[in-house]
Amino acid sequence: MSTTLTETPRPTTIRPAFSTREDDAGFHVSVALPGVRKEDLKLSFRDGLLDLEAPRPGDGATVYRLTSRLERRLDGERIEAKHDNGVLEILIPLRQEALPKSIQIS
């Protein structure tokens, strides 16, 4: 008797185009996700890792995936994200202790 095992095909993973910048508010990430609907996005933060996953439109065999370990000076508990016209904007604020402090001189 012969048993044939079939493997479920895994989706192809591609890294989406993205850009980053930093300012006094924190660390900004802009991710290009053309055609991806907001309700199809999965954005999570766990154990210091920010993880983004979304299906690539029109191709059920491909997903966008972006994972990044956050620096300790960034506050992963206060991440904000908004999706508009195929672009996901993520703001990762600086931790309070990482903000510059003004020192009064006597």
| Tens digits of pLDDT across the chain (106 residues) | 556 666 666 779 999 999 999 998 899 999 999 999 999 999 999 999 999 999 998 877 889 999 999 999 899 999 999 999 999 999 999 988 766 778 888 8
Contact (Cβ atoms closer than 8 angstroms) between residue 41 and residue 83: yes
Mark 47-64 as b/e (b = at least 16 C-beta within 10 Å). Answer: eeebebbbbbeeeeeebb
What's the pLDDT at 11? 77
Specify the pTM.
0.80
Q: Which fold has domain 12-96?
A: Immunoglobulin-like (2.60.40)
Residue ranges covered by each domain of the chain: 12-96
Q: What distance in Å separates the CA atoms of residue 7 and residue 5, rounded to the nearest whole number?
A: 7
Q: Helix (H, G, I), strand (E, B), or coil: what is residue 93?
A: strand
Task: Report residue 91 as tokens.
Answer: 């703001």
What distances in angstroms separate CA 13 from CA 17, 43, 45, 76, 79, one per listed residue? Answer: 13, 16, 19, 24, 24
Q: What distance in Å separates the CA atoms of residue 16 and residue 35, rounded to the nearest whole number?
A: 12
What's the pLDDT at 5? 66
What's the pLDDT at 4? 65
49 beta partners:
46, 69
